[in-house]
Structure 1
Amino acid sequence: MRSDPPDDPDTLREKIIGLGEASLHKSYYPELQSRLAELERFRALLDQTHDAIFLIHAETGNLADVNASAGMCLGYSREELLTTPFLNLVAPQQKAGFAEFVRMNCDQPPASHWTCIASLVSREGREIPMEVTARFVAFDGEQYIVAIARDITDRLQAERELKIKESALASSTNGILIADLTGAIMYANPGFVSMFGYERGGALAGRNLAAFFADPAVGEKVADHLLKDRAIVEETIGLQSGGAPFHIQVSGSVVQNDAGQPLCIMLIVMDITERVVTDQMKREAYTQLGKNIEQFAILGDHIRNPLQVIVGYAEMIDDPLARKILDQSNRIDEIITRLDRGWIESANVRKFLRRHGDDAEPPAPIFVRIAATKKEDP
């Protein structure tokens, strides 16, 4: 202190070389050791992080310091990195852009930081995509850049896979709906939006999936079934935005996390109106075909009854023309017999189609052949 009496030369000498009770060496050495230990701990902490940390001279662009992760990531030793300008580590096609990016941020406030994506080149020549966050700092009146680079290879791969999945969902012609566990809509693909007559998918967000069924109870049943049994396939009636009902097939499942806990509900919706209408037309056609076959059989009997009367009278007439009447009557009977066979075979075809569907190929014996049937005796 200025108020303290000055030390004599011997006392001052003892303080400097550490021999006195108030030795300067004894006063500052423990604090110096503590600071050095703190710096060592901090250095070890930086070396353990997975991010690569670079301290760059702002004026020259040379590296002033790096952590251990920087060398491990790029395959260089610390000594090699300290003799390499940071820009030499940037991929050749990105050097100019990175240098311009740094120049544009030179006027940023000292506390601000900026982030960019750049590829750093390893010793083997492999380009590693990095997210580089940097800021300017000052030490002893000199400007430095602290750059923290994080390897984002896995993140970019995950983003690419996610984009592929999103594109697949968006391009699907089927309607795809994702709802939370309460049934509130989280996502609807363009196929679903178009199928249900909406202009944009954002209008569906937050609505309950029961609103897309003609009978809301069916929508609630679907959600409850999924939460209990994890999967469902059901045909029901959907409801478009304008209130028009249409036939849909709903298949869905519950999306789970790695622990098996439910995350959300996903539904795949198909418009099956055309198929349902076609099936209805087939059923009506089969029904009408059955009625026609029965009518044809009855008409055949009705034709044969008067034909037998004609034959009977012709056989009682002793006239050459009677033989012609009998011949023509036999021809009529033969035609009716052929029709009977065709009707029977038509009935067999109808039964076969009902059992096996239209795509099945019926066996050869039940094909309808009328004109080629050989004449038989009455």
Structure 2
Amino acid sequence: MSATPSSKLPPFDPRDPLGLDDLLTDEDRAVRDTVRQWTADRVLPHIAQWYEDGELPGIRELARELGALGALGMSLTGYGCAGASAVQYGLACLELEAADSGIRSLVSVQGSLAMYAIRRFGSEEQKQQWLPRMAAGEVIGCFGLTEPDHGSDPAGMRTYAKRDGGGDWVLNGRKMWITNGSVAGVAVVWAQTDDGIRGFVVPTDTPGFTAPEITHKWSLRASVTSELVLDDVRLPAAAVLPEAKGLGGPLGCLSHARYGIVWGSMGAARTCFETALDYARTREQFGRPIGGFQLTQAKLADMAVELHKGILLAHHLGLRMDAGRLRPEQVSFGKLNNVREAIEICRTARTILGANGISLEYPVMRHATNLESVLTYEGTVEMHQLVLGKALTGGLDAFR
């Protein structure tokens, strides 16, 4: 078979060197372009200032707008959710995180953690009560699993739920590093019980529930991060998620959220790569653009290779999820690779921009610091290495 003459080939696109756009359907592209335009209109003009100020003003309005786009609980079906494909949800995550990891985190925690937990494990009453309003962005949700002393080891959580004589549950404990916590109207909280770990749907106006915001962060500054404090929070028996028993419940939610990170991290990487590419073409030193020097071209080539390999990996995982064939180990594979490579792409982009790379006039350092959090949350590098290691060795468990 002879090669196609170069004169008949489509032109080379520096922003899509592998032609990955050809893998998408018209519906996929429509979702991608809609979310990209929303971020261009509503996020990009303000995000540097939000980051510098360490706040996300108007988060409830943004949530309602995202709900109108169908971006909240996007891949879930029924109850006002869009029922989009996994690939389309992934593309939305990529575009959101191309703007800022904090915006993608808002959507991920809402849809892939809080809403997913209720949709997958909740009673019909819980689904009817919460999901339509959460899908519309009228109610923001959060997901309480991590604790001050138990992050990678959630099985050791100390938050405890005890039945009283009348059948109610009484929750006591603390959760830490909870996205959306201070602005949430509902929290999905995981707690130890006499019968193992259970999940609870907690309206945040319940007496005894408080969510002080965590400040003084160097990462995810344009994101609401909170502590959850549960002090004799009394809930009816109907608050428990009936289909979630044991640690498999929250871990299943995390796997769904990690899938979005596989895509989202490539959005941050894409922004940094394209910023560096544009800069290298126009910034002159020694009488010519720095993009004409071998060392700069080597950096750009390596960045492009890892970026588009990562997008190809994300798309492959999306197709597997849509086919019902995506394993948790494969999600760990994607999260481990893509976030790690995204950070390296951002760091390399910073070197191309030189001193300008640390300025908020450019997005590179903002993305790089955000990705330090993304590297840790939803499972650290080490935890995903151990997940893969256990699978690769036929079940040899090195976690303990």
Task: Please indicate the TM-score interval, normalised by the length of the shorter structure.
Answer: under 0.3
Higher strand content, 1 or 2: 1
Scaled by the length of structure 2, what TM-score is found? Answer: 0.22
Scaled by the length of structure 1, what TM-score is found? Answer: 0.23
